[in-house]
Structures are given as structure tokens and as C-alpha cells.
Amino acid sequence: MSRNRIRNTLLAAAITLGGLSGAALPATSASAATGVICAQYGSTVQGNYYVQNNRWGTSATQCINVTSNGFQITQQDGVSTGGAPVSYPSIFDGCHYTLCSPGMPSPRQISGLGSVNSSISYSYVSSGKYDAAYDIWMDPTPKTNGVNQTEIMIWFNHTSGVQPVGSATGTVSIDGRNWTVWTGNNGGNNVVSYVAPAAIASWSFAVHPFLQDTINRGYGTSAWYLTSVQAGFEPWSGGVGLAVNSFSVTP
């Protein structure tokens, strides 16, 4: 997630749960296209996308190095003691808390989307406690600020001891892969999470089947709007070296 909508109440309710990548304050204005960002909510335009540091859950330092195709965590001193992750550094396409990327400058109604394809490549590390999450946000209105009503999380990888919001409520096969589906609410929005049985390092896939499956489960309709898609990490501790090597979205 990414916005400071949770503070004390949601943080207390989110013990041992992921799905908080929308819990930060408005990001700072865009800076250089590449280079190191250590500002708590620092961000920069990267081609068609935005990269954000989004250290929403800790006062400890976190820095990311923005590359030409993604970013890497170079310092992450925070340690979660309340159960929720400490941040969600990510790259995104779309509108997210007043920031709208050049590639998708406004939300798009799901019924008129057609094919939306995405490609992502991650690098993982053996130390730390984290998940690698691809987020899809949808809302009944073409919202460009604030919390969306439904968050879809695709967990490409996670270490032991962390789990999505809610509980496991089913399984589904999408694009030739099997997923365990978790559903719940983090106190600010509904969360539908698709957890891979084993780590996925890279994947090119269609976004729409995840939207449709979420709609079929009652967490939205085709009249709703896709507001953004994001790829990043939710660290509970550690995570230096985690990287998004490449990211693309083709509407």
C-alpha cells in the first residue's frame, strides 16, 4: 500500500499481516530519474513510471538506488515490532496519492481496459524478512488520491513468518500458475492476495485475469476503475539487495 491512513489503529490490527503497501504520507515531488533516494516518502519519475521509497512504518533509515529500469534497496534499518511491514518501496504506473505517472495519467474503467500486460523481474536475498508484492488497485471512482476500496496483491515470493491479510479462502489457476487466495480487510480497504507456492523471479503476464477473479469473488465490478499497478517489496526487517530489475506495463 502506501499512505499514512493506518497509524495506531491499523498498525495494531495488522499484526503479522502483509497488505499495507498503501500506508504512507503524500510522496515528495519528483527528483532525478536515477540515483539514491533516502527521503521517507521520496519519489522520482522514471520514464513512464514513478519510483517511491515509501518508508511509512518506521523512523529508521531506508534508501533505494533508482536504476534505469527499477530500483534496489541499499539500506534498510527498520525492524517491525508491531507485526506490519515497515515500508513498501515500489515502482508504479497510474495514480497513487496525488502522483500520476506519465504512462497512465488517469484511472481507467475496467470494462474498457482491453488487454493490460505487465512484465516484472525481481532479485531476492537470503537474509531478512519480507515479501515481494505486485499490487493492483481498484476503486468505484476514478480516484487519484487517498485509499482505494480494493487492493489485489500478487505475492511473487515471501520469507517464512509473514502472511497476507485475512485468511486463505481458496485456490485458483491463472495464466498457467496455481495460486492460494487470501481475502481480508486491513482496516482501510479490502485485500485479495494471490500467493505463489514457490518464488517467481520474473514473469510476463496479463493483469486482467486477476482483476476478473477478484470481481468474481465480490470485491468489485467491471464498472470500477483501475487506478494503479505497482511492484515492490514489503520488508519487516533487512532486505538490503532486494531489487526490481525491470518493470513494464502495456495498456
Phi, psi angle pair for 110, to nearest 5° = -60, -35
| Angle of CA points 144, 43, 189, to nearest 5° | 40
- Residue in 57, 151, 158, 238 annotated catalytic: 151
DSSP-derived secondary structure for 6-65: -HHHHHHHTTTB---TT--PPPPPB--SSEEE-STT-EEEETTEEEE----S-SS-EEEE
234 carries an active-site annotation: yes
Rounded to whole angstroms, the Cα distance separating 139 from 150 reads 6
Three-class DSSP category at 215 = helix
- Residue in 57, 156, 234, 249 annotated catalytic: 234
Three-class DSSP category at 195 = strand
151 carries an active-site annotation: yes
* Enzyme catalytic residues: 151, 234
